[in-house]
Amino acid sequence: MNIAKLISDAVHSYNEQVGDNLVGFRNSYSGRGMYGRECVGITGPLGDCRKVIAMVINDAYDNTGDVDHEEELLAPEFDFRGLVDSLMDWEQDSMGRSDMVLYWSDIKPMEPGVEQFYEHEQCPDCGEDIPTGTASGEQCRNCGHVFVEQVGNDGAPAS
């Protein structure tokens, strides 16, 4: 089960719902006292960040025990209460005037996916940010572009 991916998905759904990029996902945030160690966080107005957390909990609840779920995010033995406890135990710093960063020092960043092969990690067709950890073959949420691993002629990732 990948909590980082649940959070990242919720951030995207929330922004879609409100029609604005109010909340950002940080795959490699290093908070105070973490000495450069990286963890997952979200940024934005506190109220919106809290709504994203509620969304993660709701999504997790909906998918608990659903082995047929497309991405099989959550196994039947998934510890839902444990997830809620972890999620509610965020730390926060202020960022700029009204934004906060909420982060979870125990939630590890996701492994990078195919987004690393794209310039600015954005969809080449519509410019939408490609979520961290996107697998080869997944589609752009915005325009349906299929992302693939790209390797240039010299064996280096194409830009």
Please list every residue from 127 through 146 that binds Zn ion, using CB under 5 A: 128, 140, 142-143, 145
Query: CA 19: distance to chain centroid?
Result: 18
Tokens at 30, concatenated: 């290093």
Q: Which is nearer to Zn ion, 109 or 124 (CB)?
A: 124
- Judged by CB under 5 A, the residue of 125, 135, 137, 151 near Zn ion is 125
Q: Closest approach of Cβ 149 to Zn ion, in Å? A: 17
Q: Closest approach of Cβ 101 to Zn ion, in Å? A: 27
- Judged by CB under 5 A, the residue of 34, 54, 126, 135 near Zn ion is 126
114 in Cβ contact with 130 (< 8 Å) = yes
Instruction: Specify the stretch interacting with Zn ion by CB under 5 A; choose among 14-22, 48-56, 103-111, 120-128.
Output: 120-128
Quote the crossing angle between the two packed helices 46-63 and 80-88, to the nearest 10°: 170
114 binds Zn ion (CB under 5 A): no
Q: Which is nearer to Zn ion, 94 or 116 (CB)?
A: 116
Instruction: Give the separation between CA 149 and CA 81, rounded to whole angstroms.
Output: 37
Beta bridge partner(s), residue 157: 151
Q: Which is nearer to Zn ion, 5 or 141 (CB)?
A: 141
Q: Which is nearer to Zn ion, 48 or 138 (CB)?
A: 138
- 91-95 and 99-104: which strand pairing? antiparallel
124 binds Zn ion (CB under 5 A): no
DSSP 42-57: EEEEHHHHHHHHHHHH
Return the ∠ at Cα 102 (arms to 85 and 51), rounded to 5°. 70
Q: Closest approach of Cβ 124 to Zn ion, in Å? A: 8
Which residues of this chain interact with Zn ion, rule CB under 5 A?
Answer: 123, 125-126, 128, 140, 142-143, 145
